[in-house]
Amino acid sequence: MRILFIGDVVGRSGREAVAAAITTSRAALALDLVVVNAENASHGFGLGPDMAEALFAAGADVLTLGNHAWDRREIIPYIADHPRLLRPLNCPPGTPGAGAVTVELPDGRRALVLQAIGRLFMDPMDCPFRTTAELLARHRLGATVTAILADIHAEATSEKMAYAHSFDGQVSAVIGTHTHCPSADAQILPGGTAFQSDAGMSGDYDSVIGMTKEAATVRYWRKMPGERLTPAEGPTTVCGVFIETDDATGLARRIAPYRQGGRLAPAMPEP
C-alpha cells in the first residue's frame, strides 16, 4: 500500500496548497491512502466543517486533529457524523467522535488509521500507550487489515520515539505531528515499522511555527498578552511523509520525506 501522510495544515494558504498537492500527488505517486493532520487549518486553531469538507473533496481519505480539536465548536456535531475525521484515541470516555477508523479501499484492502496524543508538556489525557495497545489487540497487521498508520501528536520527541518502539512490528508506520518542524530521522525500525518524529507543518515557514513572526516574537520579549496570533500567508511548503508497505505483512518497505513548494528544500519520493 502506498500512503501519503501530510503534516499539520496551517491556515488558508496551507489548506489551498495541500488540496493542490493531493490532487497532483495521487496520480504521480500512485497513492492508495492520503491522511492529513488538519487541527490548525482554521486560522491556526482548530478545523471548521466547511474546511474538512474541502479537504475530503480534494482527496484526503482521513483527517486527524490533536490538542486543538475543539477550538472550533461547530466541529463537535460534525465529528459525530464523520468517522473519517479523528480526534485523539486517548481522549476520556464520552468524548465525541473516535480516535481510529478502518478505511476500505476500492480494491478491498483495508487500512486502520489512528491518532494518539502525548502527555509530556500537553494537557492531561488518558495513557496513549495503553489505549493504543487495547485498540491493536483487536486488529492484526497483514491479516484483519493490510496496513496500520498511527499519528502520534506530541510535544516531546522522546515520547514519540518511545511510542514508535513500543509498537514496532505491530503497525506499518508511526508518524509524529504537533511541533511543526520536519525531522530528519525517517527510518524503518528493526521490527519493520516506518517512523519519523515529526512530519512538519504545511504552511509558511517564514514564520514562527506557521504564525506571523512579528506577533509571535514579541510575546517572548515582553511575556505579556499581545495581538492575536494569525497564520503567515506567504508561500506554503507542504510537508509530509510517504510510506510504502508490503501487503502480505503490512510492514514498511520504505519511508521518504515529502516536501514541495515554499522555503524548504524540496524532497519528493521516487514514484
* pLDDT-derived band at 223, boundaries 50, 70, 90: confident
Kindly report the CATH number assigned to the domain that includes residue 164: 3.60.21.10
Q: What is the pLDDT of residue 85?
A: 98
Q: Is residue 268 part of a domain?
A: no
- Residues 53-94 pLDDT 10s: 999 999 999 999 999 999 999 999 999 999 999 999 999 999
Arithmetic mean of pLDDT over the chain: 96
Q: Is residue 253 part of a domain?
A: yes
C-alpha cell at 180: 511543526
Contact call for residues 240 and 7 (beta carbons, < 8 A): yes
Which domain covers residue 234, as residue numbers?
2-260
Contact call for residues 256 and 186 (beta carbons, < 8 A): yes
Q: Is the pLDDT of residue 228 over 90?
A: no
Q: Is residue 220 part of a domain?
A: yes
Q: Is residue 267 part of a domain?
A: no
The residue assigned the cell 506577533 is: 215
Nearest residue to 216 (alpha-carbon basis) of 189, 263, 180: 180
* pLDDT-derived band at 226, boundaries 50, 70, 90: confident
How many domains is the chain partitioned into structurally? 1
Q: Is residue 270 part of a domain?
A: no
* pLDDT-derived band at 227, boundaries 50, 70, 90: confident
- Identity of the residue numbered 165: H
- Reading across the β-sheet that carries 85-86, which strands appear in turn? 85-86, 62-64, 33-37, 2-6, 238-245, 252-260
Catalytic status, residue 68 = yes
Q: Is residue 20 part of a domain?
A: yes
Q: How far is CA 267 from CA 81, 182, 237, 241, 259, in A?
A: 36, 11, 11, 10, 5
Q: Is residue 160 part of a domain?
A: yes
* pLDDT-derived band at 127, boundaries 50, 70, 90: very high
Q: What is the pLDDT of residue 83?
A: 98
Q: Is the pLDDT of residue 224 over 90?
A: no
Coil/strand/helix, residue 115: strand
* pTM listed for this prediction: 0.96
Q: What is the largest CA-CA distance in the chain?
A: 57
**Catalytic position from the list 68, 82, 139, 153:** 68
Q: Is the pLDDT of residue 225 over 80?
A: no
Residues of the chain with pLDDT > 70: what percent? Answer: 100
Q: Which stretch of DSSP H or E encloses residue 17? A: helix 11-28
Q: How far is CA 176 from CA 194, 217, 232, in A?
A: 11, 25, 23
Burial class of residue 130 in the structure, from the number of CB atoms within 10 Å of its CB (0-12 exposed, 13-18 middle, 19+ buried): exposed
Q: Is residue 141 part of a domain?
A: yes
